[in-house]
Structure 1
Amino acid sequence: MSPSRTCSWLIVLSVLLVCTTANGDRLKVGYYDKTCPDVQQIVQSVMAFRVGRDQSVAPAVLRLFFHDCFVDGCDGSVLLDETPFFESEKDATPNANSLHGFDVIDEIKSYVEHACPATVSCADILALASRDAVALLGGPSWKVQLGRKDSRVANRTGAEYGLPAPNSTLAELINLFKQYDLDARDMAALSGAHTIGTARCHHYRDRVYGYNGEGGADIDPSFAELRRQTCQSAYDAPAPFDEQTPMRFDNAYYRDLVGRRGLLTSDQALYGYGGPLDHLVKMYSTNGEAFAKDFAKAIVKMGKIPPPHGMQGEIRLSCSKINR
């Protein structure tokens, strides 16, 4: 083969590698060390201020990250407003009137743009803000791998059907997480994000009422009655996932599962069927350090879920709309 032909093949191969390399494959810690060295400090400062004023900001931002990554990868698509060309993921059934924290990401983005114009993606800002959300409520910290690009389109259908549902069975949860190369241990650890935040009555109503109005065999009767009282106040009345320490990132969520006091059907699905998952939940319930370690490891893994093959990304100047 001639040198010129070899060179041509190398060029083609290089182009193919660039085109097929997904977000998750090129992420690295320190991605912005030279181009935007203050980005992590900016994100942490805004998050500390906002969570200091309102702790509910932390679970809201963390939930945004989950709902972003589980729909076409961690590409900031959940942050996009609707346009004439695509429907917003914000308006999908699992997200409508329940996702919050968009203004926090927008505020961080404005400071980052001032410091480093057109450099840091909204997807990366969301990943960093999620890490800080957990740490600010007493949870673990981790090194965030960066280098994501922002999607130029949202996937409303994916948001309708690609997210864990409040009434998901264990088999459904395992299969859903498996699609993203997240195993049962990852799933159990990531579910611990429900140690902070709240859910509305229409999400846990079926669990606490059951078929006979008194809950089922897998729910503590006194807990079911308590949550029914909450539901009686309003159809969308919120209740904490963890009633003991609702705004502290700890392992109390798993103690609730062992006590059959999981708020959602999909929460309690992690415990009570026997086998390795029961042993894991019991271990987390007594060993907070093990849970923290596994959660940090699993969320780094989740943060590498790539966008669809061939997606053209960008660095959005505004997180709610694509660049023109």
Structure 2
Amino acid sequence: MEKRRRSVCAVAAVALVAAMLSLGEAAAYGGGGMSPDYYKTTCPQLEDIVLKEVTRKKNETIVTIPAVLRLFFHDCLVNGCDASVLIASRSADAEKNSPDDDSLAGDGYDTVNRVKAAVEQKCPGVVSCADILALAARDVVHLASGPYWTVELGRLDGLVSKASDVEGKLPDPDMHVKELTDIFYRSGLSQRDMVALSGAHTVGFAHCSRFTKRLYNYSSTVKLDPSFNPEYAKRLMEACPPDVGPTIAVNMDPFSPVVFDNIYYQNLKNGFGLFTSDQVLYAEGVSRKTVEEFAESEPRFFQAFVESMMKVGRLGVKTGNGGEIRRDCTAFNH
């Protein structure tokens, strides 16, 4: 029954997206020369290949779900969706070498590389790594019982990947609403987009070092962040003592960590936000109404998440001489 309910919610969310597209939004759909049918003749089996490989990887490790999703965000928010975060540099100066990308899990990279290898066997030199990452991000959400949406395709892979380009373009666990809003606004995304995309924290995990300041050293006068639910804080302290090692991690959502749902927002209302950047979405009044809306209605959250993911997928798309179709996602062709 629960599985059926989630399926109905997902369908309802996608239907709402379609119903609410205005003429202006419809004109933007497929912007930059992108189209859901971009590979219809050159690689018609593309989406089946991607789904098969992503499912295989997800069945090996559930970490695949948040790892791929975060990889997509980190790529697109830094100079656009061009797979530049996948480049491996011998001199350690590529985008992925930035300290802000240290938290990206290897399973995300591995998933995209596996999919690329499978796609190359069927359609050599045709499909970009950027498009593969966009499809994989959609698929991991849906495999976790989240919404399904049509992915616009036709991105080229970028020709530049520099660690120095990352600073200041990604949200940080210690940020408050104004800082978070500014980060997303600079990429052309609204505060509502920011709150909706933050819902990706309904899946995945975080290492203790990313949030222990809230437990032991919140301010000069208060050790424990007062917005924490006391029982939740106690459980986190047991899992993450002050001298905890760097490998210990906890679930972002303590109640349904492998299901893409709206429990994340219900958690915020009850003081179960893991990062400062999570809890402030409710604690600071400016975004509270949006949190309450998503907490009360999973279809509304799904609708907003799909709309925001489509916006993210259009950021900085490379075309023409501005990009290439990489043979290997980890290296430029030249």
| TM-score normalised by structure 1 residue count | 0.88
How far does the alpha carbon of each residue in 1:60-83 deviate from its partner, in whole angstroms, 9 at most, with x for none? 011100000011000000000014
RMSD (CA atoms) = 1.9
Give the count of matched residue pairs: 300
Distance (whole Å) between structure 2 residues aligned to residue 224 and residue 172 of structure 1: 25
More deviation, 173-182/299-308: 299-308
Larger radius of gyration: 1
Which residue number in structure 2 is paired with residue 249 of structure 1?
260
Which residue number in structure 1 is paired with residue 26 of structure 2?
none
2:322 counterpart letter in structure 1: Q
1:57 and 2:55 equivalent?
A: no
1:172 and 2:172 equivalent?
A: no
Does the C-alpha gap of structure 1 residues 311 and 78 become closer, same or farther in structure 2, counting only changes over 3 Å? farther
1:26 and 2:24 equivalent?
A: no
Does the C-alpha gap of structure 1 residues 307 and 148 become closer, same or farther in structure 2, counting only changes over 3 Å? closer
1:273 counterpart letter in structure 2: E
| Contact 1:94/1:163 (<8 A) preserved | yes
Note the residue ranges of structure 2 that are not aligned, 5 or more in a row. 1-29
- How far off is 1:311 after superposition? 7.2
Does the C-alpha gap of structure 1 residues 318 and 203 become closer, same or farther in structure 2, counting only changes over 3 Å? same
- How far off is 1:219 after superposition? 1.5
Distance (whole Å) between structure 1 residues aligned to residue 319 and residue 237 of structure 2: 46
Distance (whole Å) between structure 1 residues aligned to residue 103 and residue 232 of structure 2: 26
2:100 counterpart letter in structure 1: P
More deviation, 287-296/94-103: 94-103
- How far off is 1:94 after superposition? 2.0
Question: Which of 305, 319, 327 is matched with 1:317 structurally?
Answer: 327
| Contact 1:200/1:237 (<8 A) preserved | yes
2:245 counterpart letter in structure 1: A
Which residue number in structure 2 is paired with residue 271 of structure 1?
282
Which residue number in structure 2 is paired with residue 217 of structure 1?
226
Which residue number in structure 2 is paired with residue 7 of structure 1?
none
Alignment of 1:12-23 (within 5 A): none
1:295 and 2:302 equivalent?
A: no
Distance (whole Å) between structure 2 residues aligned to residue 319 and residue 105 of structure 1: 8
Distance (whole Å) between structure 2 residues aligned to residue 112 and residue 136 of structure 1: 20
1:323 counterpart letter in structure 2: N
Distance (whole Å) between structure 1 residues aligned to residue 45 and residue 101 of structure 2: 32
Distance (whole Å) between structure 2 residues aligned to residue 128 and residue 110 of structure 1: 15
1:240 and 2:251 equivalent?
A: yes
Distance (whole Å) between structure 1 residues aligned to residue 187 and residue 34 of structure 2: 16
Which residue number in structure 1 is paired with residue 239 of structure 2?
230
| Contact 2:206/2:250 (<8 A) preserved | yes
| Contact 2:119/2:127 (<8 A) preserved | yes
1:124 and 2:124 equivalent?
A: no
- How far off is 1:214 after superposition? 4.3
Distance (whole Å) between structure 2 residues aligned to residue 124 and residue 54 of structure 1: 23
1:150 counterpart letter in structure 2: D
1:192 counterpart letter in structure 2: G
Instruction: Provide runs of 4+ in structure 1 moved above 3 Å.
Output: 307-311
Structure 1 residue matching 2:135: 3-state secondary structure: helix
Distance (whole Å) between structure 2 residues aligned to residue 242 and residue 311 of structure 1: 43
Note the residue ranges of structure 1 that are not aligned, 5 or more in a row. 1-22
Structure 2 residue matching 1:138: 3-state secondary structure: coil
